Amino acid sequence: MPRNTSGLKRDAGPGRPKGSRNKIPPSLKLSFRKVCEEIGVDEPQLVREAFRKGLAARAPQSFPYLPIWAHFTDGKPKDTVEVQTRGKLIEVVLAGTPTPTDGDVKA
């Protein structure tokens, strides 16, 4: 059954419209990042203690801390994205380090 698409704009796609303002200004993001880095360098025990409290919290509050903990203990798993185009399957691997190809053989 075909969908009724008569009310949709043809030029607009998903997401935020072009030219719209950021919800959080870049200057505020930079300031927040600097403060977090200063706390991490100057007071690492404070960061450790906050993280431990987050992991020890009860179930929905501890969930955001679990992937961070797993990332730093076991390493982040590589992300694989599959895209189907014109009958061909293309696999894109997103990871922090490049994987060697046939020509890049390490000795």
| pLDDT (tens place) for every residue of the chain, 107 residues total | 677 777 666 666 677 777 888 888 899 999 999 998 898 889 989 988 998 999 999 989 899 988 888 888 887 777 777 766 665 555 555 555 555 555 554 54
Domains identified in the chain, total number: 1
Burial 44-55 (b: 16+ CB within 10 A, else e): eeeeeeeeeebe
Rounded-to-integer distance, Cα 77 and Cα 49, Å: 26
Establish if 40 belongs to a structural domain. Answer: yes
- Reading the block at residue 1, the tokens are 């059954």
Does residue 37 lie within any of the structural domains?
A: yes
In a domain, 80, yes or no: no
Residue 74 tokens read as 């076991």
- Regarding pTM above 0.85, the answer is no
